[in-house]
Structure 1
Amino acid sequence: MAETILVTGGARSGKSRMAEQLASGFDAVTYIATSIPVDVEMRHRIDKHRQRRPDSWITVEKYRDLDRVIAGHSHSKAILLDCITVMVSNLMLDLNIDWDKASMSDFDRAEKEVMGEIGKLIDGIRCFEGRFIIVTNEVGMSLVPEYPLGRAFRDIAGFVNQRLAEISDTVYLMVSGIAVKIKG
Structure 2
Amino acid sequence: MSKIILVTGGARSGKSSYAEALCKAQNNQTAYIATSIPFDEEMKERVRKHQEMRPSEWTTYEIYENIAGQIEEIAKEYQTVILDCVTLMVNNLMFKEHLDYDQLSEEEVNQLEQMIKEAFIKLLEAVKETELYFVLVTNEIGLSPVAGNRLTRIYTDIIGRMNQLIAKASDEVYFVISGIPMKIKG
Instruction: State the TM-score bracket (shorter-chain normalisation).
Output: over 0.9
* Mapped contact 1:97–1:106 kept (Cα < 8 A): no
Are residues 1:155 and 2:167 paired?
A: no
CA contact (8 A) 2:6 2:172 kept: yes
Any idea what the Cα deviations from partners look like across 1:103-161, whole Å, max 9, x if unmatched? 10121121011101111111221112021000000011002111111101100111100
Please name the residue that 2:12 is paired with: 12
1:59 counterpart residue number: 60
CA distance in 1, matches of 2:54, 2:184: 26
Residues of 1 paired with 2:67 and 2:129: CA distance? 12
User: How does the TM-score come out when normalised to structure 2?
Assistant: 0.96
Q: Which residue of 2 aligns with 1:42?
A: 43
Of 101, 104, 107 in structure 1, the residue corresponding to residue 103 of structure 2 is 101
Q: Secondary structure at the match of 1:113?
A: helix
- Structure 2, gaps ≥5 residues long: none
Report deviation, 1:91.
Answer: 0.4
Provide the C-alpha distance between the structure 1 equivalents of 2:12 and 2:130, rounded to a whole number of angstroms.
29
Q: Are the counterparts in 1 of residues 28 and 55 from structure 2 also a CA contact under 8 Å?
A: no
Cα distance between partner residues in 1 of 2:128 and 2:100: 35
Distance 2:100 2:132 in 1: 40
Runs of 4+ in structure 1 off by over 2 angstroms are none
Q: Residue 89 of structure 2: which of 72, 87, 90 is its match?
A: 87
Q: What is the CA-CA distance between 1:69 and the residue it aligns to?
A: 2.2
Unaligned runs of 5+ in 1: none
- If the length of structure 1 is used for normalisation, what is the TM-score? 0.97
Cα RMSD (Å) of the superposition? 0.9
